[in-house]
């Protein structure tokens, strides 16, 4: 990298290259890192075009947007894909058939192996991301989502960015100086950016929202996870009757900027960063996303900070709200695997926020899920998790479990008491079967 003594404009102009020239720096055997958020599609497409020329390049990505290219026929000898957060349905079939590998990790431990165990972990040879054009001081923004991009900039041997004029600017640590970047490729796209859109909430989600609202108090600091049910809650008005809410979260769900604008989320009672809503990514669209642009009340910071257990637990009355795939009668929470051990999600930041919120003075962890699959065929509250299912949150950390049928309070309860609570919020169609399992397990020896 060039030193700061060189003017940033000269550095930018000297390193402005075509996508083909930029990806020519990838060599066989390299590890190429991508992150959550917008994927640099111009750069990844140029790299995919080198299939057959390269060998054994590891693409370490988290929810790739251009996933079909990585799995085209004949591309595998050149590229091996490691997925960190598999929330896109389009490539689950490749995980299931072992055409891609899954890398379990927590955001706050992602770089520990590189920094402390370099004989066991490969340092990224090249990191690619999307940024805004530089401002007058030579700083580029990472747009609406930061995640661990700055961490990869610091730890990768080369950094290549795709410069996209549509990227927004925010307060926080959401920037990188041009002198920290090796090569720039300008994206000519002018179409409006595509942001996350959510389905309309149904009656099940509305009833879940009512129960969640009963567990949240004015003055609480909230975290809301990447779950379709959870992401709908702010727009449903679940928090509109509260005052002085705070936000310290991985993602700002749609509806959050509106609550900040309205003063419902003002952070007045936050233990850390009072008056500020802290996230590492923004989710929303159109005018709502624009509410976060250059807004000093909303800061986008590194995921290493937002997900740090010590930071989370330092907030009094920290409330973590997250989704789940299934919960068994002991309180084990599965977030990652579906029927037949089918991969659905990575853990994301849920383990960090669940543990951090429970360590918080006055803190709570709320897990929400529909009582059945959307088609109503399979229960989500089960007697036992299917063999091989991932236990994302152990039963020792289970707190409040919420379905459309109510709230199960598990913290401090025995296994028998937990099972009774969970049967009470299961779908009525499956309660008989669950009661039989409960009786067999907990009452047959009394």
From edge to edge, which strands make up the β-sheet containing 326-328?
333-334, 326-328, 381-382
Among 257, 268, 202, 260, residue whose Cα is nearest residue 229: 202
Q: DSSP letter string over 114-167?
A: HHH-TTTSPPPSEEEEEEPPP-TTSEEE-TTB-TTHHHHHHH-SEEEEEE-TT-
Whole-number Å distance between alpha carbons of 446 and 441: 10
Among 298, 281, 352, 292, residue whose Cα is nearest residue 322: 352
Neighbouring C-alpha atoms within 13 Å toward the C-beta of 388: 7
Active-site annotation holder among 38, 39, 162, 250: 250
3-class SS at 310?
A: helix
User: With contact defined as beta carbons under 8 Å apart, do 307 and 365 qualify?
Assistant: no
Neighbouring C-alpha atoms within 13 Å toward the C-beta of 170: 28
Q: What are the φ and ψ backbone dihedral angles of 283, each rounded to 5 degrees?
A: -125, 130
CB neighbourhood size of 327 (10 A): 29
**Between β-strands 400-403 and 406-409, what pairing exists: parallel, antiparallel or unpaired?**
antiparallel
Q: Is 250 a catalytic residue?
A: yes
Q: If you search the block for the tokens 């897990």, which residue do you land on?
A: 367
Catalytic positions are 250
């Amino acid at each position: 990298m060039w030193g700061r003594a060189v003017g940033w404009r000269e550095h930018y102009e000297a390193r402005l290259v075509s996508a083909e020239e930029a990806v020519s720096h990838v060599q066989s055997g390299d590890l190429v890192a991508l992150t959550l958020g917008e994927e640099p599609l111009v750069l990844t497409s140029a790299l995919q075009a080198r299939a057959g020329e390269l060998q054994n390049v590891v693409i370490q990505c988290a929810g790739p947007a251009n996933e079909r290219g990585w799995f085209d026929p004949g591309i595998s000898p050149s590229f091996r894909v490691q997925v960190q957060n598999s929330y896109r349905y389009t490539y689950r079939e490749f995980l299931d058939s072992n055409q891609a590998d899954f890398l379990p990790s927590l955001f706050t431990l992602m770089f520990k192996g590189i920094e402390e165990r370099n004989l066991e972990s490969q340092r990224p040879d090249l990191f690619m991301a999307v940024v805004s054009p530089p401002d007058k001081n030579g700083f580029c923004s990472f747009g609406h989502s930061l995640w661990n991009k700055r961490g990869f900039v610091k730890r990768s041997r080369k950094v290549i960015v795709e410069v996209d004029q549509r990227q927004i600017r925010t307060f926080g640590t959401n920037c990188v100086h041009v002198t920290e970047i090796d090569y720039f490729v300008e994206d000519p796209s002018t179409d409006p950016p595509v942001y996350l859109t959510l389905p309309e909430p149904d009656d099940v989600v509305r009833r879940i929202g009512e129960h969640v609202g009963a567990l949240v108090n004015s003055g609480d600091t909230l975290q809301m996870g990447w779950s379709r049910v959870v992401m709908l809650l702010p727009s449903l008005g679940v928090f509109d009757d509260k005052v002085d809410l705070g936000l310290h979260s991985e993602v700002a769900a749609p509806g959050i900027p509106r609550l900040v604008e309205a003063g419902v989320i003002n952070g007045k009672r936050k233990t850390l960063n009072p008056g500020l809503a802290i996230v590492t990514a923004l989710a929303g669209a159109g005018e709502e996303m624009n509410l976060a642009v250059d807004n000093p009340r909303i800061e986008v910071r590194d995921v290493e900070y937002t997900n740090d257990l010590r930071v989370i637990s330092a907030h009094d009355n920290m409330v973590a709200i997250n989704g789940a795939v299934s919960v068994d009668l002991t309180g084990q929470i599965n977030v990652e695997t579906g029927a037949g051990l089918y991969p659905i999600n990575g853990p994301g930041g849920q383990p960090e926020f669940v543990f951090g919120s429970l360590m918080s003075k006055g803190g709570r962890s709320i897990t929400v899920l529909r009582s059945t699959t959307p088609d109503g065929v399979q229960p989500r509250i089960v007697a036992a998790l299917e063999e091989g299912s991932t236990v994302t949150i152990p039963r020792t950390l289970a707190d409040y479990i919420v379905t459309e049928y109510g709230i199960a309070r598990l913290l401090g309860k025995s296994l028998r008491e937990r099972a009774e609570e969970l049967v009470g919020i299961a779908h009525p169609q499956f309660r008989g079967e669950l009661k039989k399992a409960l009786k067999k397990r907990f009452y047959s020896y009394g």
